[in-house]
């Protein structure tokens, strides 16, 4: 499944997300109030940050965990 397909599956809920590289290594972990908006922002913008310029092209898989509300 490519990144665009994975992005379509992410809900607009709060939770955490993990980015994986081709070796199945976690290269980034983050959290967001709106997972879809936050994770999509990595792929919809031109980044000034050197860290993001290097990291984003390496992402091959995204996983997320939805925060349960009580």
- Residue range(s) defining the domain that contains residue 61: 3-66
Per-residue DSSP letter, 61:
E
**Alpha-helix runs per DSSP H in the chain:** 3-9, 35-44, 50-55
What pLDDT sits at residue 20? 98
Summarize pLDDT for 36-65 with one digit per residue, the tens.
999 999 998 787 889 999 999 999 999 999
**Confidence tier at 28 by pLDDT (50, 70, 90):** very high
CATH of the domain at 16: 3.40.1440.10
pTM of the model: 0.89
What pLDDT sits at residue 8? 94
What pLDDT sits at residue 48? 86
Q: How many domains does the chain have?
A: 1
């Amino acid at each position: 499944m490519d990144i665009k397909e994975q992005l379509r599956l992410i809900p607009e809920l709060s939770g955490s997300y993990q980015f994986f590289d081709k070796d199945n290594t976690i290269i980034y972990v983050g959290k967001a109030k709106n997972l879809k908006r936050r994770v999509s922002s990595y792929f919809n913008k031109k980044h000034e940050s050197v860290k993001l310029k290097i990291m984003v092209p390496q992402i091959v898989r995204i996983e997320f965990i939805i925060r349960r509300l009580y």
